[in-house]
Amino acid sequence: MKVLVTGASGFLGRATAAAVRDAGHEVRTFQRRPSGVSGVDDVLGTVTDPDALARAVDRVDAVVHLAAKVSLAGDPDDFRRVNVDGTRALLDAARAAGTERFVFVSSPSVAHTGTSLAGAPAGPAEPERARGEYARTKAAAELLALAADEPGFAVVAVRPHLVWGPGDTQLVGRIVERARAGRLPLLDSGAALIDTLYVDNAASAMVAALDRATDDGVHGSAYVVTNGEPRPVADLLAGICTASGVPAPRWHVPAGVARVAGSVVEAVWRVRPGQDEPPMTRFLAEQLSTAHWFDQRRTRAELRWVPAVSIDEGLARLAAAR
């Protein structure tokens, strides 16, 4: 197949484009700057530009859509323009071009309303109840994408959870930066169990979704994808910090205090945004203090996929890449 991968200059996007290429497909990428992936055809542009979208989808059989505005804070209109309007425009362009498969890369946060998720299935996306602009707009975009599933245009939503690995400047990069500066607390005891996903496993899951997209029972569905190895958040943070050569977090903050502080910081950020991400938000406090791990049986059975790299192996690779 000829496959378009959007957002391929990002961490997961690059890995996905390479995995699709290695699976034997012809790959075109679409993003604002060169992807850096060898053996692919880069098309530069944004999902808010109809002409660029038309060039990107020309004669492609399938799309894997990762391009998104990902941030803990920012102008709500920016999130909606990229995540919702951009997804709608790409869906329309892909259908008009005769594309037959569309994998929408979503997030488990679209169904997270602030309470613990223990062995949870892929619940319905809920824009009205999701926490933060990113989650709300990704939830709305996922609903748009799945509603577009129809004969001849198979749509699957994949929700990778907390993707990490060597070269990650988001999850790993921010953990390391804050730990090095002594600004990485554990909320409550740090015992909340959370699932994560090593980057190579995330990329292989995208290929599996692409392959299975037209299967009965798969198209029109959403799948949470994780390593299936839930660990206490304190252990996960310690593992990443140790592999990265920085001290693991030792000090504790009550989760309730962090949530209140996060709400205050968000209010201030809306009026006077800083140069980087806010140090705490209510959503981040909830993520660090509530369980969120997922039942992977349906994902593995229907996508015919299993993770190849364990958490421990991923941590070893992270340490080796220092």
Tell me the per-residue pLDDT of 263-284, one tens digit each, with 9 for 90 and over.
555 555 566 665 556 655 656 6
Residue 236 has pLDDT above 60, yes or no: yes
What pLDDT, on the 0 to 100 scale, is given for residue 69? 87
DSSP annotation of 308 reads: S
Q: How far is CA 192 from CA 117, 118, 285, 286, in A?
A: 10, 10, 12, 10
What pLDDT, on the 0 to 100 scale, is given for residue 280? 54
H/E stretch holding 193: strand 193-194
- The mean pLDDT of 253-270, rounded to a whole number, is 61
What pLDDT, on the 0 to 100 scale, is given for residue 134? 87
Q: Which candidate, 158, 237, 168, 153, places its Cα nearest to that of 198?
A: 168
Q: In what order do the strands lie in the sheet with 2-6?
A: 41-44, 26-31, 2-6, 62-65, 101-105, 154-160, 222-225
Tell me the per-residue pLDDT of 86-131, one tens digit each, with 9 for 90 and over.
999 999 999 999 999 999 999 998 887 767 787 888 889 888 887 7
What pLDDT, on the 0 to 100 scale, is given for residue 71? 75
Q: Which two tokens stand for residue 197?
A: 């996903």
What pLDDT, on the 0 to 100 scale, is given for residue 314? 97
What pLDDT, on the 0 to 100 scale, is given for residue 129? 85
What pLDDT, on the 0 to 100 scale, is given for residue 182? 84
Which stretches within the chain are classed as H helix?
Answer: 11-22, 50-57, 76-79, 86-96, 133-147, 171-180, 199-212, 233-244, 255-271, 282-289, 297-303, 311-320
Among the listed ranges 109-113, 157-161, 216-220, which one has the minimum average pLDDT value?
A: 109-113
Reply yes or no on domain 2-161+197-226+293-309 having CATH 3.40.50.720: yes
What pLDDT, on the 0 to 100 scale, is given for residue 293? 87
CA distance 80 to 95: 21
Sign for the CA dihedral angle at 228, 231, 233, 239 comes to negative
In the chain, domain spans: 2-161+197-226+293-309
Residue 315: pLDDT band by 50, 70, 90 thresholds? very high
- Sequence-distant (6+) residues with CB within 8 A of 270 are 73
Among the listed ranges 49-53, 159-163, 247-251, which one has the minimum average pLDDT value?
A: 247-251
H/E stretch holding 224: strand 222-225
pTM for the model stands at: 0.91
How high does pLDDT run on average in the chain? 89
What pLDDT, on the 0 to 100 scale, is given for residue 221? 97
Residue 66 near residue 5 (C-beta atoms within 8 A): yes
Query: What angle in degrees, to the nearest 10, is found between the helix axes of 86-96 and 133-147?
Result: 20
Kindly calculate the radius of gyration of the chain based on its CA atoms and give it in whole angstroms. Answer: 19
Residue 74 near residue 187 (C-beta atoms within 8 A): no
Q: Count of CB atoms within 10 A of residue 21's CB?
A: 19
Q: Which candidate, 95, 308, 304, places its Cα nearest to that of 215?
A: 304
Q: Looking at 134, 153, 294, 305, which residue is catalytic?
A: 134
- The mean pLDDT of 29-54, rounded to a whole number, is 93
- Is 134 in the active site? yes
Residue 2 has pLDDT above 90, yes or no: yes
Angle at 289 between CA 287 and CA 290, to 5 degrees: 75
Among the listed ranges 115-129, 146-160, 189-203, 246-260, which one has the minimum average pLDDT value?
A: 246-260
- Sequence-distant (6+) residues with CB within 8 A of 215 are 302
Q: Count of CB atoms within 10 A of residue 50's CB?
A: 11
